[in-house]
Structure 1
């Protein structure tokens, strides 16, 4: 057995290819992580976007855990729907938690699994974008962890929340899973490049793309703080 190292916890391929007693459990890990990003408030270190992209590359292996589907399109569609369902449930749990006891997070001390600054940033994001923040947040690490909680705290209308919740989950899962699957095919067939052999580069690129808006926002906020208008 290959030696385990804690750094693998940040590698989405580790979860996708995970086995227990020779039985593949990657699909269960993918769905759990997607749920946990919003349902268990641990999104700041879980590999959300890169996990979905790589799931598209491994779509056949993941779906075959449940049943065999010969059609590539059907495989990717089923996987996208499963992930969208997990994402929807995660947001629902986050909303419920926010409505019931989310206020205590503003008094909670920082820890490895919780940073109050992320909550405050997400609150500001929600206030500026309203219901659409739920859609935008799906594509932003960290922010997507807290936005549904804030929606619950401010008692956003449930029907409105569910509309944006389902829509954002479908958009997020279908876009990233389909992109991973079909880009893998294009690179393999057209350029003879197996993206499975370049997982580390893919992860770095996706992290860069998804965190760039947050970095720019932080830089802008710092400039406004150090150079306030007179």
Structure 2
């Protein structure tokens, strides 16, 4: 018969590894969805810098999270997210952008188009560090028929500098005295603040879309009498 202590140890190992896998999948899924599924339009901060920095802090404060696996997966998720956004823009055009969000989002799209025209290849890299541009630049690049291989290289550099770079920054920030012991608190504050700000942004954008829809209905309604 297997000793109870051995079963407990095995169960704890399974649970710890399961928790680590779920953590990886959560981080990678949010990074990917931030640009590929336009999730970053509604919650731009929880899919951005705070998430990566916080995940690095968590990895440094626990033995269950392997930083190498985390940064490789984050880099791949960031790269694939932008690739999907680019292909959506190329295949569905400007109409795809126009179907997302209210007036605030449309203003951000116009701003992004100007940003893309100004910086070209570098816009894909720089946009990684700008919440509003991170979501729209890949799609705008696709709409603008940017050369696929040029986009591929700029996307790769952006994914490495942002996805890998910020995660490692959070990880090594934990070596600062006092930071590692408070890593969970810092990460929790960052992520909680991101959720609150993101939810507020989503509500404002939703209210704006309703107002725009109401205004359009009033414009097309036939006059009474």
User: Shorter chain as normaliser: what TM range?
Assistant: 0.5 to 0.7
The answer to whether the Cα contact below 8 Å between 1:187 and 1:194 also exists between their aligned partners in 2 is no
Within a 5 Å distance, the mapping from 1:1-230 to structure 2 comes to 23-24=18-19, 25-44=22-41, 45-46=43-44, 47=46, 48-59=48-59, 64=64, 75-108=66-99, 110-111=101-102, 115-188=105-178, 194-199=182-187, 202=190
Q: Structure 2: any 5+ residue segments left out of the alignment?
A: 1-14, 196-225
Aligned length: 175
Alpha-carbon distance change, 62 to 116 in structure 1, aligned in 2, over 3 angstroms: farther
Would the aligned equivalents of 2:60 and 2:171 in 1 still touch at CA under 8 Å?
A: no
- Please identify runs of 4+ aligned residues in structure 1 that moved more than 4 A: 60-65, 200-207
Distance 1:51 1:192, change over 3 A: closer
CA distance in 1, matches of 2:97, 2:82: 19
C-alpha distance in structure 1 between counterparts of 2:78 and 2:92, whole Å: 21
Q: Cα RMSD (Å) of the superposition? A: 3.1
Task: Give the superposition deviation at 1:196.
Answer: 2.3
Q: Deviations over 1:79-127 (max 9, x none)?
A: 1111010011001100100000031135436359x82122111111111
8 A Cα contact 1:98 1:153, kept in partner: yes
**Contact 2:58–2:184 (Cα < 8 Å) also in 1:** no
Which of the pair is proportionally richer in helix?
2
Cα deviation code 1:142-188 (max 9, x no counterpart): 21101000111111111110000011101102221111111112133
Change (3 A) 1:89 1:62: farther
TM-score for the superposition, normalised by structure 2: 0.68
C-alpha displacement of 1:62: 8.7
Quickly say closer, same or farther: Cα 1:200–1:166, change in 2 above 3 A.
Answer: same
In terms of Rg, which structure is larger?
Answer: 2
Q: Deviation per CA, 1:61-88, whole angstroms, max 9, x where unpaired?
A: 89947xxxxxxxxx32331111010011
Q: Secondary structure at the match of 2:86?
A: helix
Report the CA distance shift for 1:63/1:142 in structure 2 as closer, same or farther (over 3 A): farther
